[in-house]
Structure 1
Amino acid sequence: MNEIKLMIFDLDGTIIDSADANYNAYHDALKEIGIDLTREFFNINCFNGQHYKQFLPMLIPDEKEEIIEKVHNRKQEIYKNNLKNINTHPYILEIINNNKGIKKLALATTAGKVAVENVLKNINMENIFDLIITGDDVIKRKPNPEVFLKCINYFNVLPKESVIFEDSDTGIEAAKYTGAWVIKIEKWAY
């Protein structure tokens, strides 16, 4: 293994366990317009690295853009109010803290910028990363590797000098495509 110069971390499912908070926020926002979101549908279609513009049209009749945006904005409100219920992964935090100032640290996530800022502030990590790339900064989402390649290119390092920490199948696929080392974060058990 070459010397690792860059460590790239996904957010949801890797640094934080936000599955329940995301599900509850989408469930409540959709319930307000009379749509029941099941946990099974959410797990299969929503919380696997997909953007809301990809899965909300499956639930909202006639795929009306204004309703999709209204639901997403309401979800963001509910989610922000429930951030106190989000847990961080202690072992990932240990890796980050042990490498801060030694290696370049990047956050690469499909989550939107505002949501990422709110989460990082809530978990006291807003000044940890040398670079943050969000879903708002890319054109193509995972499994496209754009979010990870932006990090690698920004620091002008070789993919083999980078390691990506990721949990979702779509994220793993994107990470592998870069040529970087990939560490899959399995279900949380500690």
Structure 2
Amino acid sequence: MNTKFEAYLFDLNGTIIDDMHFHARAWHDILTNDLKSDISYEDTVLQMYGKNQELLERVFGKGHFSQQTMDEVSMEKERRYQAAFKPHLKLIDGLDVFLEKAHHAGIKMAIGSAAITFNIDFILDNLNLRKYFPVVVSADDVSTSKPDPETFTKGAELLGVQASKCLVFEDAPKGVEAAKNAGMQALALTTLHTPDEFHITDNIIRFVRNYEGLALL
């Protein structure tokens, strides 16, 4: 089967599973009830990109928390998210078929996510996705998170595929920006953001709500 791209790089949350509202609720609970911020739910959603530590520093300022406190807050947030989301854990509609088609066609695939390994393992192991994703780049593997391109350039390097031959699957504007910075095109999932919220669109080949009926690209 002839396809334009040799590799697919998938973000995780909101792209493989539709869980971003669960992350947002967990963060908003932590930020307002535990840490006593007056941030709104809508503003919490806008801050949800990059590493957990970076989110805390954007909301409270650098130096407000010790590294140990930020690590503890981060893990508590992930525990609350996982407990709430696990009963709803499933792939975004149509992705099971799409992944199997890509795998059968020999398209290389990787995860490129700002999530910590703890969360990536939770998804890949519970949904038995390891065979599709031999390469995983997490927040723990990069020095600078999205919109910096490192997550995706490292994924492409580990797969042995040129950036121009990689297609990024993303649900976040900052993720699409990271793809552009890596010299890659993107397919955007509208699980949390509407198309008008993507301020960079010239590298987006398509907006989709899910993977139902999606042909290989």
TM-score normalized by the length of structure 1: 0.86
Unaligned runs of 5+ in 2: 192-208, 213-217
Q: How do 1:44-123 and structure 2 match up within 5 A?
A: 44-46=46-48, 49-60=49-60, 63-65=64-66, 66-82=68-84, 83-101=86-104, 102-123=106-127
Q: What is the Cα-based RMSD across aligned positions, in Å? A: 2.4
- From the two aligned structures, give the one with the greater helix fraction: 1
How far has the Cα of 1:69 moved from its partner? 2.7
Relative to structure 1, the CA distance from residue 168 to residue 67 in structure 2 (aligned partners, 3 Å threshold; closer, same or farther) is: same
**Matched residue, 2:165:** 161
The number of residue pairs the alignment matches comes to 188
Q: How far does the alpha carbon of each residue in 1:66-106 deviate from its partner, in whole angstroms, 9 at most, with x for none?
A: 43333212112212212223442123333212111421111
Helix, strand or coil at the partner of 1:183:
strand
Tell me, in whole angstroms, the C-alpha distance in 2 between the residues paired with 1:94 and 1:3.
Answer: 19
How far has the Cα of 1:25 moved from its partner? 1.9
Q: Which moved more, 1:171-180 or 1:88-97?
A: 88-97
- Whose relative contact order is higher, 1 or 2, with alpha carbons under 8 Å and at least 6 apart? 1
How far has the Cα of 1:155 moved from its partner? 2.2
**Matched residue, 2:137:** 133
Tell me, in whole angstroms, the C-alpha distance in 1 between the residues paired with 2:3 and 2:44.
Answer: 39
TM-score normalized by the length of structure 2: 0.76
Unaligned runs of 5+ in 1: none
Tell me, in whole angstroms, the C-alpha distance in 1 between the residues paired with 2:159 and 2:130.
Answer: 20
Q: Structure 2: which amino acid aligns with 1:96?
A: L
Tell me, in whole angstroms, the C-alpha distance in 2 between the residues paired with 1:95 and 1:174.
Answer: 23
Q: Structure 2: which amino acid aligns with 1:19?
A: M
Correspondence for 1:142 among 146, 159, 169: 146
Q: Structure 1: which amino acid aligns with 2:11?
A: D
**Matched residue, 1:182:** 186
Tell me, in whole angstroms, the C-alpha distance in 1 between the residues paired with 2:7 and 2:46.
Answer: 31
Q: How far does the alpha carbon of each residue in 1:9-54 deviate from its partner, in whole angstroms, 9 at most, with x for none?
A: 11111111112211222233341344455311211112xx232212
Q: How far does the alpha carbon of each residue in 1:148-185 deviate from its partner, in whole angstroms, 9 at most, with x for none?
A: 11111112222222111111111101111222232122
